[in-house]
Amino acid sequence: MPLDLTFTPQQQALRAEVRAWMTAHVPRTPLATLEGEAGFAQHRQWERTLASGNWGMITWPREYGGRGANLIEWLIFEEEYYRANAPLRVNQNGIFLLGPTLMEFGTAQQKARFLPRMAAGEEIWAQAWSEPQAGSDLAGIRATAQREGDQYVLRGHKIWSSRAAFADWCFGIFRTDPASGRHNGLTFMLVPLRQPGVRVRGIRQIHGEPGFAEIFFEEARVPVANRLGEEGQGWHIAMATAGFERGLMLRSPARFQAAAQRLAHLWRSHATQADPALAAQVAQAWMDAEAYALNTYRTASRLMAGGTIGVEASLNKIFWSELDLQLHGTAMRLLGAHAALRAQAPDVVQDAGWLEGYIFSLAGPIYAGTNEIQRNVIAERLLGLPRG
């Protein structure tokens, strides 16, 4: 049936099942931030708990630790996940980005080797894209992978690598053809971080924790079996991964709907002293979260009918990152003098995490490809404007 926006009994049953499980298992007290070492370990433990209920990544086939769920079911899962205020996913690089990439480009052996451990939270993944001289201009990558027998020898310097400070593995692209330039001659590699020849140095972010890191590859060796796709196919595969990142899964709408709900509560507790104009901002945050949810259901429906997600991913990325910023910015204005209180301050607004949320939202328009780059992509590839 066309434009049918109702859930089937099976979908409602799944919702009830997730809700019951989350009620029973979500930690009562919030975990420490996953940007720090202690919090990272707690979040890793939570991934194992999730996996024990077979909730690691429900859209994957059963053989890889999933439930064979479709995208609508995944959205229902996410709604219940955030409704229960469950912890952030420390393995999102794995389950949301590399997972789908492996599904598309990996060999049977690679899928069997990596996916189940990803779903089970046993191996946590970091990204290794950017380099000091290759940020928005990612094709300027200089790190190399030189073939020696059945191994590659990695040399180079990656930076701004999310989760790398405490993760087990990283994925990224390296130049396998030293004579190549730009988008050619790049190869997608899967690399263990805790091995000789790999040095990880955490970089403190503005909140004070080492949320990302730089990685030095000093003749680190990886087997040829860890190459995803063919030599020279790296750029193509990386763009697919980036599409997953900006597209459907990285930021599920439920996250923003839960935050908008908290914002409305915050408004109610401040309404008597607040600038009345902020009510419009609160309503806008709710509307944008809903619009993002609706568009995600629309995209999921399109994909389930055989469509693909391409340039639209850039529209998504701009929308959710700006919505997050607007939402948290409104909370900061509502909080006034309380806004800058850190979590341990005696008078902080409890259980809210508005300051941490605001700081995190500032990164949204930057990571996963800056919003300026996304606007270029939309203009050139969706609207058909000429290249500069």
Partner 1 sequence: MDFNFSEEQRMMAGALRELAADLSSGERLRAIYDGTDSADRQRWDALAELGLFSVLAPQGSGGMSLTDSDFILLAEEAGHAALPVPLCEQAGVAVPLLAELAGGAADSGTAAALAEALQAAASGASRVAVAHPINPFTLAPADPTHWLVCNADTVRLLEAREVKAVPEPTADAGRLLYRLEAPLQQHGVTVRGAAAAAAAARAAQRGALYAAAQSVGVAQRLTDIAVSYACERVQFGKPIGAYQAIKHHLANVQVKLEFARPVVYAAATRVADPDAGAQAAVSHAALAAAAAADLAARTAIQVHGAMGYSWEVDLHFYMKRAWALAGSWGAHSFHARRIQALVCGGELTLGPGQTFE
| Cβ–Cβ < 8 Å for 365, 321 | yes
Query: Could you say whether residue 366 binds partner 1 (CB under 8 A)?
Result: no
Nearest approach in angstroms of CB 306 to partner 1 is 10
How far is the CA of 357 from the CAs of 71, 92, 346, 360, in angstroms? 27, 17, 19, 5
Query: Could you say whether residue 137 binds partner 1 (CB under 8 A)?
Result: no
Q: Angle at CA 119, nearest 5°, toward 114 and 124?
A: 70
Quick one: 291 or 341, whose CB is closer to partner 1? 291
Q: Given phi > 0 = left and psi -120 to 50 = alpha, else beta, which region is 157?
A: beta
Query: Could you say whether residue 387 binds partner 1 (CB under 8 A)?
Result: yes
Gap between the Cα atoms of 97 and 82, Å rounded: 20
Stretch that binds partner 1, among 4-12, 122-130, 142-150, 195-203 (CB under 8 A): 4-12
From 249, 352, 260, 254, select the one nearest 19 (Cα to Cα): 254
- Exactly one of 78, 80, 131, 245 is catalytic; name it: 245
Beta strands in 118-223 (DSSP E): 125-128, 144-148, 151-162, 169-175, 186-192, 198-203, 212-223
Query: Could you say whether residue 279 binds partner 1 (CB under 8 A)?
Result: yes
Nearest approach in angstroms of CB 343 to partner 1 is 23
Among 239, 294, 340, 345, binds partner 1 (CB under 8 A): 294
Query: Could you say whether residue 333 binds partner 1 (CB under 8 A)?
Result: no
Quick one: 79 or 209, whose CB is closer to partner 1? 79
Query: Could you say whether residue 9 binds partner 1 (CB under 8 A)?
Result: no
Packing angle of the helix pair 277-304, 253-270 (nearest 10 deg): 160
The β-bridge relationship of strands 125-128 and 212-223 is: unpaired
Nearest approach in angstroms of CB 289 to partner 1 is 9
Quick one: 44 or 270, whose CB is closer to partner 1? 270
Is position 245 annotated as part of the catalytic site?
yes
| Cβ–Cβ < 8 Å for 152, 178 | no
Catalytic residues: 245
Q: Which residues bind partner 1 (CB under 8 A)?
A: 1-8, 11, 15, 72, 76, 78-80, 82-83, 253-254, 257-258, 260-261, 264, 267-268, 271, 279-280, 282-283, 286-288, 290-295, 297-298, 300-302, 305, 312, 315, 318-319, 372, 374-376, 378-380, 382-388
